[in-house]
């Protein structure tokens, strides 16, 4: 191993192609004396003179002729390995990605992302994982490639990038008083409410804001996810909150209506997270950008096109 120096292969390739110390030195931007010293070292390592004097020229030995093709191939492979990659062609990509999508983004993400991937990269397979906020090591361990949604807790190594903020609106069935009449704080508080919480919590930011007005609301049930809440709201009995952009497709598909909640509520922050080892990976970068495009609110998409 003491004799293993990959620079020797590059020098040997130049020497065997040119049969000249001077020309090999010029090719590698070094001096002729330095190349002579390298040739002496190669002779010791290979136990062969490699190039010998024949009149005013140098000619290769039989051993040098045997090595010429193999050395040239190895040097070419090394250069290809270290050469920066060009632009990725998604059409030729064949790999799988595991995506953990939060409940708030699933209805707006999965179908259009599958359609876009099928169109751009038919060799790519997507595996959607259920939301698991307590599992912060999945990205680090490689069980999940990308996480997208409302990301509150992550591993310290994780890269988190904010995509956009979504405002919260109320959702009700057609004909509900909060849809057909003017919405006041009192009327909103008096309605029957569904709370969305994986942990079954009935109270949240809405209750904090109502308390500032001296109001409380009646939460008739808690449900674990947005889809369940929207399906329950179809009965016409209760109302629920939902992110305006991320819930738009499901609200329209279920023929529901939205209304403005008369309270200053915090926005729903949607982010993208991944482990830094994937930052420079071409395929991973392509999928991250595709997710950004699919999830972006219409105004952001238009702005992105204008910037380009």
- For the stretch 216-240, pLDDT in tens is 999 999 999 999 999 999 998 899 9
Average pLDDT, the chain: 89
CB atoms within 10 A of CB 199: 6
pLDDT score of 157: 82
Strand ordering across the sheet containing 268-274: 124-129, 95-101, 146-149, 268-274, 159-166
Please classify residue 149 by burial: count the beta carbons closer than 10 Å to its beta carbon, then call 0-12 exposed, 13-18 middle and 19+ buried.
buried
Average pLDDT over residues 14-36: 92
Let me know how long the chain is.
Answer: 308
Which DSSP state fits 84? P
Of 6-10, 60-64, 124-128, 133-137, which range is least confident?
Answer: 133-137
- At 197-209, the pLDDT tens digits run 888 899 999 999 9
Tell me the residue ranges of DSSP E strands in the chain.
51-54, 57-60, 95-101, 124-129, 146-149, 159-166, 168-172, 192-196, 218-223, 240-243, 257-259, 268-274
Q: Please give the structure tokens belonging to residue 233.
A: 């709201």
Average pLDDT over residues 49-76: 89
Percent of all residues in the chain with a pLDDT value above 90, rounded to a whole number: 64
Average pLDDT over residues 13-29: 92
pLDDT of 95 strictly over 50: yes
Quickly state the pLDDT bin for 291 (edges 50, 70, 90). very high
- Look at residue 261 and give its three-state secondary structure: coil
Please classify residue 62 by burial: count the beta carbons closer than 10 Å to its beta carbon, then call 0-12 exposed, 13-18 middle and 19+ buried.
exposed
What is each CA distance from 289 to 126, 280, 282, 293, 295, in whole angstroms?
15, 13, 11, 6, 10
Average pLDDT over residues 254-274: 94
- Look at residue 89 and give its three-state secondary structure: coil
Average pLDDT over residues 144-168: 88
Average pLDDT over residues 16-31: 92
Q: Please give the structure tokens belonging to residue 8.
A: 């020797």
What is each CA distance from 180 to 177, 243, 258, in whole angstroms?
5, 20, 10
Average pLDDT over residues 258-272: 94
pLDDT score of 2: 53
pLDDT score of 253: 93
pLDDT score of 304: 46
Q: Which residues contact 273 (CB under 8 A, 6 or more apart)?
A: 139, 146, 147, 148, 151, 154, 158, 159, 160, 161
pLDDT score of 165: 93
Quickly state the pLDDT bin for 85 (edges 50, 70, 90). low
pLDDT score of 305: 40
Which DSSP state fits 145? S
pLDDT score of 4: 60
Question: Residues 287, 301: contact at Cβ < 8 Å?
Answer: no
Percent of all residues in the chain with a pLDDT value above 70, rounded to a whole number: 94
Q: Which residues contact 42 (CB under 8 A, 6 or more apart)?
A: 8, 11, 12, 15, 50
Which of 120, 163, 119 lies closest to 274, judged by CA? 163
**What is the pTM (predicted TM-score) of this model?**
0.69
pLDDT of 295 strictly over 90: yes
pLDDT of 302 strictly over 90: no
């Amino acid at each position: 191993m003491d004799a293993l120096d990959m620079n020797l292969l590059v020098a040997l390739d130049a020497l065997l192609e040119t049969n000249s110390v001077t020309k090999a030195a010029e090719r590698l931007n070094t001096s002729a004396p330095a190349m002579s010293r390298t040739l002496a070292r190669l002779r010791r390592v290979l136990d062969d003179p490699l190039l010998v004097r024949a009149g005013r020229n140098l000619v290769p030995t039989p051993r040098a002729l045997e090595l010429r093709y193999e050395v040239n191939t190895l040097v070419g492979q090394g250069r290809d390995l270290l050469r920066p990659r060009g632009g990725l062609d998604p059409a030729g990509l064949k790999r799988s990605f595991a995506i953990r999508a939060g409940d708030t983004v699933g209805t707006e993400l999965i179908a259009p992302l599958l359609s876009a991937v099928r169109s751009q990269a038919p060799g790519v397979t997507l595996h959607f994982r259920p939301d698991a906020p307590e599992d912060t090591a999945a990205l680090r361990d490689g069980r999940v490639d990308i996480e997208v949604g409302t990301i509150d807790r992550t591993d310290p190594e994780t890269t988190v990038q904010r995509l956009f903020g979504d405002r919260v609106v109320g959702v009700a069935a057609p004909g509900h008083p909060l849809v057909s009449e003017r919405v006041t704080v009192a009327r909103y508080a008096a309605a029957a409410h569904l709370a969305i919480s994986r942990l079954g919590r009935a109270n949240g930011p809405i209750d904090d804001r109502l308390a500032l007005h001296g109001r409380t609301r009646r939460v008739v049930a808690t449900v674990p996810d947005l889809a369940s809440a929207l399906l329950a709201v179809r009965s016409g009995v209760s109302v629920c909150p939902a992110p305006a952009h991320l819930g738009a497709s499901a609200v329209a598909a279920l023929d529901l209506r939205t209304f403005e909640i008369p309270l200053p509520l915090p926005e729903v922050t949607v982010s993208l997270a991944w482990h830094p080892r994937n930052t420079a990976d071409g395929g991973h970068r392509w999928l991250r950008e595709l997710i950004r495009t699919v999830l972006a609110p219409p105004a952001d998409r238009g702005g992105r096109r204008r910037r380009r």
